[in-house]
Amino acid sequence: MKSLSHIKGAIVGLAVGDALGYPAEFRTRRQLQEELAPEGITGFIRLKDPRFSRPFFTGPDHPPGTFTDDTQMSLCVAEALLAAGRADRDTLMRELASRFVQWHRSEDNNRAPGETTGIACERLASGVSWRESGVAHSKGCGANMRVAPIGLYYEDLDTVAEVARDASRLTHGHPAALEGSAAAALLVALALQGASPAHMHAEVMRRCGGRSPDFDACFSRVPALIELPPEQVLIDRERGPHALGEGWVAEEAVACALYCFWRHPDDYRTAVLEAVNTDGDSDSLATITGSLCGARVGLEGIPSEWVEGVEQRARLLRLGELLADARLLLAEG
């Protein structure tokens, strides 16, 4: 089955991107270049690499190849989809809520999780419905960095978008968060189909446009910026006329990830490292970029040393197999 390598590529690809970006989060591109190398991060390094002058991170150190809550929550989404099967949407979301709460309360939840997600998980744990648990005003990227499995599980694009919006509602309720989640899942589904980046962008605008002014204003600008270098684009929007932002909020994260993917759609290494070596939310940008590139180029297109070195490699590969099997069964009816 041709799609097996590409579904595995998306799952492993998001985890690899996340692990590469983890030590870069909260550090500037300039700092990475000055303290590591002119190219910045080029492979897995430990979280508290001794070359860094300012560690920023509290809590434990982690070895090279460790991923963050981005991948942990993506795995929750994948496993909820597999567990719920063909159940109705409410059953799926309750399954997802249960897994989010379990993750939130686990000792593994020590990798800089978002505050909004924590608040929402506590609400879910207290019995609040998944429809009401999300923080209404929050549009942080914590909702759209975890939805790649939805784009791998469903073939129908309408379903992809609607399930991704519901998955956002568990934690983030702002319209930009809902559309950022729909967009991230749709982009993965379209990359899996082999669509061109231009078609991917147009399809997302067609399905998500008009629902959130914040999302529309940011995401619509991506095609005009592809030829500009990342130091002009992947920066705070106050710093230049061509800036898409640093990726901390939903519309910026998905727009910046598409920018990196569009510039290097068939070069996983270059696209993901471009997302990693930024001023902003490096792990989330690289997670989303990695899912898109992995879906397009397949597992074989990801550098083998990264596939071998990423945390929980066997689990990631097995989930890719299970998602591929489930997608086939769902398509067969």
Structure token digits, residue 204: 């997302």
Cβ neighbours around 31 below 10 Å, total:
16
Cβ proximity of 122 and 138 under 8 Å: no
Domain boundaries, the chain: 2-42+67-332
187, 221, 137, 211: which is closest to 296 by C-alpha?
187
- Determine the pLDDT at residue 58: 76
- Rg of the chain over Cα atoms, rounded to whole angstroms, equals 18
- Determine the pLDDT at residue 55: 66
- Determine the pLDDT at residue 147: 98
Q: How many residues does the chain have?
A: 333
Residues 219, 221, 225, 226: is their CA dihedral positive or negative? positive
- Determine the pLDDT at residue 3: 86
- Determine the pLDDT at residue 331: 83
- Determine the pLDDT at residue 14: 98
Which 3 state secondary structure label does DSSP give 199?
A: helix
As assigned by CATH, the class of the 2-42+67-332 domain is mainly alpha
- Determine the pLDDT at residue 1: 46
Q: Which residues contact 67 (CB under 8 A, 6 or more apart)?
A: 15, 18, 19, 22, 111, 283, 310, 311, 312
Determine the angle formed by the axes of helices 69-84 and 282-297, rounding to 10 degrees: 50
Structure token digits, residue 83: 């567990």
Cβ proximity of 244 and 259 under 8 Å: yes
328, 224, 322, 279: which is closest to 11 by C-alpha?
322
Q: Which residues of 3-25 are buried (b: 16+ CB within 10 A; e: fewer)?
A: bbbbbbbbbbbbbbbbbbbbbbb
- Determine the pLDDT at residue 95: 98
Name the H helices within 22-131. Answer: 29-35, 69-84, 89-104, 115-125
Phi then psi for 135, rounded to 5 degrees? -75, 115
Q: What is the largest CA-CA distance in the chain?
A: 56
pLDDT along the chain (333 residues), means of 10: 87 98 94 96 96 81 97 98 96 98 95 92 97 96 97 97 98 98 98 97 98 98 98 95 96 98 98 97 97 98 98 98 94 79
C-alpha 226, offset from chain centre: 20
Which 3 state secondary structure label does DSSP give 249?
A: strand
Cross-strand partners of 135: 172
